[in-house]
Amino acid sequence: MKKLLALSTALTVVGFAARAEVVVMSWGGAYGEAQTEAHVKPWSAASGIAATMVDSDNPAPAVKAMVEAGNVTVDVASLEYADAIRLCDEGMLEPIDVASLPAGADGTPAADDFLAGAVTECGVSTDIWSNVFAFDSSKITGTVPTTAADFFDLEKFPGKRGLKKGAKAVLEFALMADGVPAAEVYNVLNTPEGVDRAFAKLDTIKSDVVWWEAGAQAPQLLADGEVTMTTAYNGRIFAAAINEGKPFQIVWDGQVYENEMYAIPKGAPNKDAALEFIKYATSTEGLRAQAQHISYGPARKSALKEELIFKDGKTVMAPHLPTAPENMGNALETSSDFWVDHDAELNERFQAWLAQ
């Protein structure tokens, strides 16, 4: 309580409280709800500054369009790692000095407390999330899928497949399903032959794919029985299983994980207050709070030192996090460098492949 009062007083003194509300753009659904409950509402209560959450299927294109038009209407955006780096390189995000971020709850300086790569020139990690695949355990019984290869095995597991409509994480997943070890995926995908191999693997299920674009669509496809299995954001499947009682089961083999970042668009109307929001949200307490609402791993070491319990008061979060040791057996960390360099060309290839 003392920390909250101190924060509120400090912000009022420097005049932030007189400003308009801070607008945070995120991904909606269970993720947006987690950030609203863990960050937006408590920060607003602590600071005395109004704050609101707006949803987007992908905040990065919206941020780019706003900055280019000189009409920025959001103060904080939740961005995928590669997008945060690319937009920063393009001068579309405000820089954030790691030295300005609060120390961990144990006193460790932020630069040492955050996991490697979790703070970039313009972004601060809110969590580590993952692309996984899942199935409905009430409909697949007996022998169940356990590997990425099983996702592509229509003979062993008949039925439609749900896949995100885009190249990122889909091409990597296809290569791992085709037998490429996680440690070698980007070496392979960095060659024309490797790209061809990924698309050839996708060809084997193309006619049986139902494509999804927004994160909420993947668990809905499972719930409606439109697909037998689907790739999805792990937090969406967790939320459907825990909050709604859906009989969904995650397969962690072949997961593709990465940091999600809070960033400030260039020209944000409330830049100073936006930075204070990010400091609050990415503190030890802020990251722990979010992880107690959704199964994404905190990006600070200090946030992992105590057991995390879901908001229901009984679900231990550790086994549900992408970074749990038992979930990392064949896991791939997204290469932001690769996607910064190849996003445009591979998505162009992907769209052409879809049209064939």
* 29 three-state secondary structure: helix
Residue range 13-41: average pLDDT? 83
Nearest to 328 by CA among 152, 132, 185, 167: 132
pLDDT of residue 15: 44
Q: Per 3-state DSSP, what percentage of the chain is helix, strand, and coil (rounded to 5)?
A: 45, 20, 35
Residue range 44-68: average pLDDT? 96
Residue range 109-131: average pLDDT? 96
Upper half-sphere CA count for residue 177 (Cβ side, 13 Å): 31
Q: Which two tokens stand for residue 294?
A: 């959704």
- Are 122 and 84 in contact by the 8 Å Cβ rule? The answer is yes
* 281 three-state secondary structure: helix
pLDDT of residue 141: 86
Bridge partners, 231 (sequence order):
133
Residue range 26-52: average pLDDT? 96
Q: What is each CA distance from 86 to 5, 68, 121, 128, 348, in whole angstroms?
A: 37, 14, 11, 19, 17
Nearest to 194 by CA among 209, 176, 212, 210: 176
pLDDT of residue 19: 52
What CA–CA distance (Å, rounded) separates 165 from 13? 48
* Residue 124 pLDDT > 70: yes
Mean pLDDT (the chain, rounded): 93
- Are 146 and 171 in contact by the 8 Å Cβ rule? The answer is no
Domains of the chain with CATH codes: 2-128+259-317 (3.40.190.10), 130-258+320-355 (3.40.190.10)
What CA–CA distance (Å, rounded) separates 297 from 279? 18
What tens digit of pLDDT does each residue of 277-306 get? 999 999 999 999 999 999 999 999 999 888
Q: pLDDT exceeding 90 applies to what percent of the chain?
A: 91
What tens digit of pLDDT does each residue of 225-270 get? 999 999 999 999 999 999 999 999 999 999 999 999 999 999 999 9
Note the helical H segments in 233-291: 234-244, 271-281, 284-291
Residue range 315-324: average pLDDT? 93
| DSSP-assigned letter for residue 170 | H
Buried b (16+ CB within 10 A) or exposed e, 301-337: bbbbeeebebbeeebebbebbbbeeebbeebbbbbbe
Q: Who has greater pLDDT, 14 or 195? A: 195
Residue range 31-41: average pLDDT? 97
Q: pLDDT exceeding 70 applies to what percent of the chain?
A: 95
Residue range 74-102: average pLDDT? 97
Predicted TM-score of the model (pTM): 0.86
Residue range 30-35: average pLDDT? 94
